[in-house]
Amino acid sequence: MEERLKSKFIKSVSYFFVSQTFGRIMNGLALILLLKKLSPREIGLVSIAAVFVTVLGAVSEVGFEAALIQAETISKNQKNGVFWIGLFLSGLAFLSVFSAAPFIAHFYREPSLSPLLRVYLLVLFANALKIIPYSQMVRRLEFGKISVIESVSMVVSSVLMIFLAFKGMGAWSLVIAEITRVTGLFIGSQAGSFFVPGIKFSVKEVAPLFRFGFFATMSRIFYNLYINADYLIVGKFFGTAAVGIYTVAYRLVFDTLKAGTGVINKVAYPTFARLQKNLLRLKRAFFSIARMNLAGFGLFLVITALYSDWVMLVLGYEKWLPAVPIIRLFCIIGLLRCVIPLIPQLLNALGHSKLNFYYSALCAAVLPAAFFAGAQISIYGVVGAWLVFYPLVALQLFFFALKHLSLSWREFAGEFISSSKILLMTIPAVFLCRIFFKHVGDGWKILALAVSLLLSITVGMCCVFLFDKQIAKEFTRKIRKKG
């Protein structure tokens, strides 16, 4: 059983990763082109609007998606109840912020924010409609279907975004593209796992999902509050153009990181749920995935920190160079975020969503206050608050993981020795590659950059296989199997 589940996990990750790669590349190319056409102010406006939509999305979903995945069985009446309650809450959230949009725009002294926000809110309905069919596919580990749906939606929205931006639509190109992406997810989810809600449902039957979902929802609300509070604070203190610079730095690091680790973490949750009765196998699965995240995405963070300014200069993005120092600081925080998002998946799978709620509540209490205090100094004070306070509050989450995995701090840290060695070897190696090729390649800037990046990735991957025996062993086994 363990080998079958492991094989299914690896297969799901492989399908998910490979099929999403094309979509992510398209989205990345779209963002690169958009940075040429859009101003920091336009990106800042959309970023502020996105905060409200994201938080409201967590409220209206009520944690039902996580509850549907975690539950052993789901009845038709429960599905009906989840659908109608989610749709009602989405409508309520839509009306409340739709009415408040002019006041929000006045607060930021940006009149154009009001209509932008009102249209962006339509995303809430598409998200509510896809909860049941999407969660059904996740429960069945049908990540092949999910990856195709998400990739197609992303590609279509990326193409539309570029088209609208070059037609002079500005910030609206981002909003319309996002509505298109989420609508595509709903249509694809229905095609992959068709669901027609019935009128009949029992509140009593939905109540257990709500109890589990309540803490998951509050965790998501608190998470979205503290993870987005910096945008709102930067916007108020330094203006929408500063939010644009901050957003580009944030998205380049954390959105890319989330895209990669999210693929793995999304598959990890239902896998952990299946292993929740077997602690030994659960430990193995958790640390295997955590090390894979830290080793692979740690390399991405090292390369991003060391090459971001060179890439911008070579490709003609000088107006975004103020984002480089922020990017480098975010890459340090990114090392923690290679592992931390996996712990809530573990706790949810074990049925301890309440612990995620406690952690998110602590973050929501501490981090926005830290961002506000940092903003009294400068925009770098906000980034400094991330560096200082995020690791401190994350200790609580690590404590919960240790408790439920029955491990000491020393045992937990020992599981990451190989990943630490990889990073310690990768950083100087990548730095030397950059220094050498930037010096000798003045006459061939693009070629020197490309060769340097390729060599850096190769060196980093060699470090992974050299110091992480488990990854090397798995890779060798697959090669022999194919042979």
Residue pointed to by tokens 């709620």: 357
CA angle (353 as vertex; 350, 356 as ends), nearest 5: 115
Cβ atoms of 27 and 61 within 8 Å: the answer is: no
* Mean per-residue pLDDT over the chain, rounded: 80
pLDDT digits (tens, 9 = 90+) for 172-185: 999 999 999 999 98
**Helix or strand holding residue 282 (H, E):** helix 279-315
Residue 254: is its pLDDT beyond 50?
A: yes
Residue pointed to by tokens 């070059």: 166
How many Cβ atoms are within 10 Å of 279's Cβ, its own excluded?
13
Residue 208: is its pLDDT beyond 90?
A: no
Confidence tier at 216 by pLDDT (50, 70, 90): low
Q: 451 or 268, which is more confident? A: 451
pLDDT digits (tens, 9 = 90+) for 343-380: 887 887 777 777 878 888 898 899 999 999 999 999 99
Taken in order 125, 170, 150, 156, the sign of the CA dihedral is positive
| pLDDT at residue 482, rounded to an integer | 47
Q: 284 or 94, which is more confident? A: 94
Cβ atoms of 230 and 382 within 8 Å: the answer is: yes
Quick check: helix, strand or coil at residue 359? helix
Round to whole Å and give the CA distance between 412 and 394.
Answer: 14
Tokens of 142: 């049908």
Round to whole Å and give the CA distance between 348 and 273.
Answer: 8
- Compute the half-sphere exposure of residue 469: CA atoms within 13 Å on the CB side of its CA: 2
Quick check: helix, strand or coil at residue 477? helix
Q: 71 or 91, which is more confident? A: 91
Residue 167: is its pLDDT beyond 90?
A: no
Q: 50 or 62, which is more confident? A: 50
| pLDDT at residue 479, rounded to an integer | 46
Round to whole Å and give the CA distance between 346 and 287.
Answer: 11
Round to whole Å and give the CA distance between 129 and 23.
Answer: 23
| pLDDT at residue 371, rounded to an integer | 95
DSSP 321: G
Round to whole Å and give the CA distance between 459 and 110.
Answer: 47
In one-letter notation, the amino acid at residue 440 is V
Residues of the chain above pLDDT 90, percent: 17
For the entire predicted model, the pTM comes to: 0.75
Round to whole Å and give the CA distance between 442 and 421.
Answer: 33
| pLDDT at residue 392, rounded to an integer | 92
In which region does residue 71 sit, left (phi positive, over 0), alpha (psi from -120 to 50) or beta (all else)?
beta
What is the 3 state secondary structure string of the chain?
CHHHHHHHHHHHHHHHHHHHHHHHHHHHHHHHHHHHHCCHHHHHHHHHHHHHHHHHHHHHHCCHHHHHHHCCCCCHHHHHHHHHHHHHHHHHHHHHHHHHHHHHHHHCCCCCHHHHHHHHCCHHHHHHHHHHHHHHHHHCCCHHHHHHHHHHHHHHHHHHHHHHHHCCCCHHHHHHHHHHHHHHHHHHHHHHCCCCCCCCCCHHHHHHHHHHHHHHHHHHHHHHHHHHHHHHHHHHHHCHHHHHHHHHHHHHHHHHHHHHHHHHHHHHHHHHHHCCCCHHHHHHHHHHHHHHHHHHHHHHHHHHHHHHHHHHHHHCCHHHHHHHHHHHHHHHHHHHHCCCCHHHHHHHHCCCHHHHHHHHHHHHHHHHHHHHHHHCCCHHHHHHHHHHHHHHHHHHHHHHHHHHHCCCHHHHHHCCHHHHHHHHHHHHHHHHHHHHHHHHCCCCHHHHHHHHHHHHHHHHHHHHHHHCHHHHHHHHHHHHHHC
Round to whole Å and give the CA distance between 299 and 366.
Answer: 30
User: Exposed (0-12), middle (13-18) or buried (19+): which is 358, by Cβ within 10 Å?
Assistant: middle
pLDDT digits (tens, 9 = 90+) for 259-272: 777 667 667 777 77
| pLDDT at residue 198, rounded to an integer | 76
Residues of the chain above pLDDT 70, percent: 82
